[in-house]
């Protein structure tokens, strides 16, 4: 069975059938308090929050992070090339890693990280991680091919709010519909993480939303502004610092921009270079110049067939009155000069696809004439929080939506990159294909498939015959 099939099986095998009758809760047994050391999101004796991430060279490296209670004081994982028989423990090697403690409203816990290095390309592995009460189950994954091979990946926008209640259905639909998806990329604001929120609960919700799928398909996350928390400096001025969970939950490559090493990095995966940037550090924390230099160097050194940028704050906004001018001025010239193919973003809680900065009409004219286009900029949202479209939505993006949760599937081939955006119910909302010509330039072809009608709010009425929940940004 493929890793993707196993992903789907683990996600859905345990779901009760519609015919099952679930007994009501015992009124004599009170549920544990939500925010207490013995609550739902407290660490226990078995590993939870297991998340797999790729190495910088995904053909030869991967890493895993997980959480336990404080009794597990060391980071230990076992890994083996997968075999068809059950005796995995006899052939596995043990790998040690690092451990860090955290304390919050859900009590004390320890996060552990182990990096698997020297792996064989295009090979199925299994691994398990240790906790005080025993090992986790064996979890399969596959390393990337050494050179180019076609693959599919999932792109998700902000989950942020109501993660488990609402956003999880979109994540799970994406994992189910994607089939053999190789990895998942996240465009930031995985959680809300503000003063009025319980931060640890949210990280528990996010990892549960993806379940063991997040432990078997490598995750490539970008940090958003909500991965940061407010911080008062010694002189009394306000600043931001990265929340404590980020560096504990994700064992990421360490090849990022100087001063922004925790949240900028790149991954080479089967002929695609994924370049992850931190818009918050660039806009608010003095990290723009360093990341701009690093971005140019990282693209200049890329030998990948395709290059994809991933970050949170969009250059071309679909909700806010103004574009993100500082990032646009610094990064767009590099994207143009280095011919990046696709730019994946979040932050605006709407959907917008800009294929030509001159607007939708120019993009369609270029497509009809077979003229080169790119890069293509996309903004999407996965969770429940919604913003209304701005006044450019009728002219700048080729396709836009508000009050709509989406997931995206991208198929990578040698000469084509095919992009499809689906609503939460699995209906096709946007689709296009980039085709690489003999001149090395991309031509964009709009889909001939029937797309769902444009989803817009009409005053207080939303597109589902329900009230519009999209907030207007000003």
CB 314 within 8 A of CB 392: no
What's the pLDDT at 35? Answer: 64
**Residue 88: is it exposed, middle or buried by C-beta count within 10 angstroms (0-12/13-18/19+)?**
middle
What's the pLDDT at 236? Answer: 85
Asked whether residue 168 carries a pLDDT value surpassing 60, the answer given is: yes
Q: Which of helix, strand or coil describes residue 163?
A: helix
Angle at the Cα of 168 from the Cα atoms of 70 and 226, rounded to 5 degrees: 65
pLDDT digits (tens, 9 = 90+) for 24-47: 444 455 554 556 667 899 999 999
Average pLDDT over residues 452-474: 94
What's the pLDDT at 11? Answer: 46
Place of tokens 């639909």: 173
Asked whether residue 5 carries a pLDDT value surpassing 80, the answer given is: no
What's the pLDDT at 14? Answer: 38
pLDDT digits (tens, 9 = 90+) for 202-233: 999 999 999 999 999 999 999 999 999 988 88
pTM score over 0.75: yes
Asked whether residue 52 carries a pLDDT value surpassing 60, the answer given is: yes
Average pLDDT over residues 384-391: 96
Instruction: Domains for the chain: give ranges and CATH numbers.
Output: 42-142 (2.60.40.380), 151-446 (3.60.21.10)
Give percent of the chain above pLDDT 90: 86
pLDDT interval class at 13 (50, 70, 90): very low
pLDDT interval class at 181 (50, 70, 90): confident
pLDDT digits (tens, 9 = 90+) for 413-452: 999 999 999 999 999 999 999 999 999 999 999 999 999 9
What's the pLDDT at 36? Answer: 65
Q: CA-to-CA distance for 435 and 426, rounded, in angstroms?
A: 25
> How many Cα atoms within 13 Å fall on the side-chain side of residue 91?
13
Q: Which of helix, strand or coil describes residue 225?
A: helix
Would you tell me the crossing angle of helices 325-337 and 288-300 to the nearest 10 degrees? Answer: 10
> How many Cα atoms within 13 Å fall on the side-chain side of residue 273?
20
Q: CA-to-CA distance for 264 and 440, rounded, in angstroms?
A: 27
Provide the strand spans (E) within 167-224. 181-186, 219-221
Q: CA-to-CA distance for 60 and 156, rounded, in angstroms?
A: 25
pLDDT digits (tens, 9 = 90+) for 343-370: 999 999 999 999 999 999 999 999 999 9
Angle at the Cα of 8 from the Cα atoms of 111 and 117, rounded to 5 degrees: 45
What's the pLDDT at 234? Answer: 87
User: What residues are paired with 242 via a beta bridge?
Assistant: 228
pLDDT interval class at 247 (50, 70, 90): very high
What's the pLDDT at 230? Answer: 86
């Amino acid at each position: 069975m493929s890793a993707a099939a196993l992903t789907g099986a683990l996600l859905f095998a345990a779901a009760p059938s519609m015919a099952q009758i679930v007994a009501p809760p015992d009124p004599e047994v009170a549920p544990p308090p939500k925010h207490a050391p013995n609550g739902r999101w407290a660490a226990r004796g078995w590993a939870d929050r297991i998340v797999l991430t790729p190495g910088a060279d995904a053909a030869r490296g991967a890493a895993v992070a997980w959480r336990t209670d404080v009794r597990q004081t060391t980071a230990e994982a076992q890994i083996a090339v997968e075999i068809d028989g059950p005796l995995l423990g006899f052939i596995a090697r043990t790998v040690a890693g690092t451990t860090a403690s955290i304390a919050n409203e859900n009590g004390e816990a320890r996060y552990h990280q182990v990096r698997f290095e020297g792996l064989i390309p295009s090979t199925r592995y299994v691994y398990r991680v240790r906790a005080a009460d025993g090992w986790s189950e064996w979890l399969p994954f596959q390393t990337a091919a050494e050179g180019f091979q076609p693959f599919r990946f999932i792109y998700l926008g902000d989950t942020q709010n109501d993660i488990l209640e609402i956003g999880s259905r979109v994540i799970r639909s994406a994992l189910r519909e994607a089939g053999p998806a190789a990895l998942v990329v996240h465009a930031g604001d995985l959680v809300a993480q503000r003063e009025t929120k319980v931060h640890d609960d949210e990280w528990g919700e996010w990892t549960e939303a993806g379940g063991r799928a997040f432990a078997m398909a490598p995750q490539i996350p970008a940090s958003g502004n909500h991965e940061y928390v407010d911080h008062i400096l010694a002189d009394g001025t306000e600043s931001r610092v990265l929340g404590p969970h980020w560096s504990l939950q994700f064992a990421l490559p360490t090849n990022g921009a100087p001063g922004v090493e925790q949240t900028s990095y790149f991954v080479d995966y089967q002929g695609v270079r994924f370049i992850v940037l931190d818009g918050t550090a660039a806009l608010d924390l003095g990290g723009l110049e360093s990341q701009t230099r690093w971005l140019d160097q990282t693209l200049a050194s890329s030998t990948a067939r395709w290059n994809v940028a991933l970050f949170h704050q969009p250059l071309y906004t679909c909700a806010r009155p103004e574009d993100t001018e500082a990032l646009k001025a610094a990064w767009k010239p590099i994207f143009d000069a280095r011919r990046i193919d696709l730019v994946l973003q979040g932050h605006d809680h709407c959907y917008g696809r800009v294929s030509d900065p001159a607007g939708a009409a120019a993009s369609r004219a270029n497509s009809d004439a077979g003229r080169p286009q790119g890069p293509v900029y996309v903004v999407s949202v996965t969770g429940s929080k919604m913003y209304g479209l701005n006044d450019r939505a009728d002219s700048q993006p080729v396709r836009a939506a508000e009050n709509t949760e989406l997931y995206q599937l991208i198929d990578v081939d040698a000469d084509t990159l095919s992009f499809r955006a689906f609503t939460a119910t699995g209906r096709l909302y946007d689709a296009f294909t980039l085709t690489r010509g003999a001149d090395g330039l991309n031509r964009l072809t709009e889909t001939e498939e029937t797309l769902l009608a444009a989803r817009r709010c009409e005053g207080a009425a939303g597109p589902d015959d329900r009230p519009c929940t999209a907030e207007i940004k000003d």
